[in-house]
């Protein structure tokens, strides 16, 4: 079943189509993280869940010329922000488990999004860290008060029965309408520095402009670095 990716921010963004994504566990072997991301020390994080949109995980979709099975638009799986971040987590805890899921349906239909139907299997693993890297797909004209309540509901869903879980909100790669709301519920990571530098995006590297305006390898590494700067302070 195909669905729409509607990434909308304060800058003109794009509309693209992609397959609806299921949960995608990461199983690749440990690879040494970039030195500037790594901090040697033990980590309390054993079970990490990362939720996001196409930047986090996007399966192949030929009509867009996208054939990856990872975060759009990294050139390879080990170059998307999830896998760069995972390598840093592994330096502190080689046995850390990381699961990733595309929850763009929440962005596009937050008012009626069924947490149990979509997220219970992840919640039931009792993660100790949840990263919410969402926001680009909020549509013009939405009720931001409703979005804020449902964002709080999403955080509380993972905290119910697991009060020690840390839920980190991560902003849009552009300055989007979700950002000031997410910032109200720390810990929070701002990616505002990303959008000012075109080198963070895959411009000219793909035929389809919608794909090009996703983060490329440089942007993915910078996203991972900004998240890691926050996460490593939470141990």
Count of beta carbons in the 10 Å neighbourhood of residue 165 = 18
Is the pLDDT at 81 greater than 90, yes or no?
Answer: yes
Q: Please identify which residue in the block is written with the tokens 């609806």.
A: 20
Can you read off the two tokens belonging to residue 34? 């970039």
Q: How far is CA 58 from CA 183, 201, 231, in A?
A: 26, 16, 24
Is the pLDDT at 135 greater than 80, yes or no?
Answer: yes
Confidence at 42, pLDDT banded by 50, 70, 90? low
- Global pTM? 0.85
Give how many domains the chain has, as a whole number: 1
Q: Which CATH number does the domain housing residue 63 bear?
A: 3.40.50.1110
Is the pLDDT at 11 greater than 60, yes or no?
Answer: no
Q: Report the percentage of the chain scoring pLDDT > 90.
A: 79
Mean pLDDT of all residues belonging to the chain: 86
Position with higher pLDDT, 27 vs 161: 161
How far is it, in rounded angstroms, from Cα 228 to Cα 208?
A: 30
Confidence at 30, pLDDT banded by 50, 70, 90? very low
Question: How many residues can be counted in the chain?
Answer: 235
How far is it, in rounded angstroms, from Cα 97 to Cα 85?
A: 12
Count of beta carbons in the 10 Å neighbourhood of residue 21 = 20
Q: Please identify which residue in the block is written with the tokens 């000031």.
A: 180
Confidence at 19, pLDDT banded by 50, 70, 90? very low
Q: Which domain holds residue 181?
A: 2-231
Instruction: At 125, give phi and psi (nearest 5°).
Output: -80, 0
């Amino acid at each position: 079943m195909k669905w729409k990716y509607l990434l909308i921010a304060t800058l003109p963004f794009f509309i693209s189509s992609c397959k609806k994504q299921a949960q995608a566990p990461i199983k690749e072997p440990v690879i040494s993280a970039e030195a500037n991301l790594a901090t040697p020390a033990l980590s309390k994080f054993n079970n990490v869940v990362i939720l996001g949109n196409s930047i986090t995980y996007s399966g192949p979709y030929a009509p867009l010329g996208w054939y990856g099975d990872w975060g759009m638009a990294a050139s390879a799986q080990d170059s998307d922000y999830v896998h760069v971040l995972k390598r840093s987590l592994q330096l502190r805890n080689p046995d850390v488990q990381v699961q990733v899921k595309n929850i763009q349906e929440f962005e596009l239909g937050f008012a009626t999004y069924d947490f149990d139907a979509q997220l219970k299997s992840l919640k039931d693993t009792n993660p100790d860290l949840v990263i919410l890297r969402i926001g680009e797909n909020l549509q013009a004209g939405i009720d931001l008060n409703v979005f804020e309540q449902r964002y709080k509901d999403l955080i509380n869903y993972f905290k119910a029965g697991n009060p020690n879980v840390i839920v980190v909100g991560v902003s849009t790669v552009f300055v989007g309408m979700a950002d000031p709301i997410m910032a109200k519920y720390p810990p929070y990571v701002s990616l505002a520095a990303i959008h000012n530098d075109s080198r963070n995006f895959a411009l000219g590297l793909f035929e389809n402009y919608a794909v090009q305006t996703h983060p490329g390898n440089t942007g993915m590494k910078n996203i991972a670095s900004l998240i890691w700067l926050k996460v490593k302070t939470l141990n």
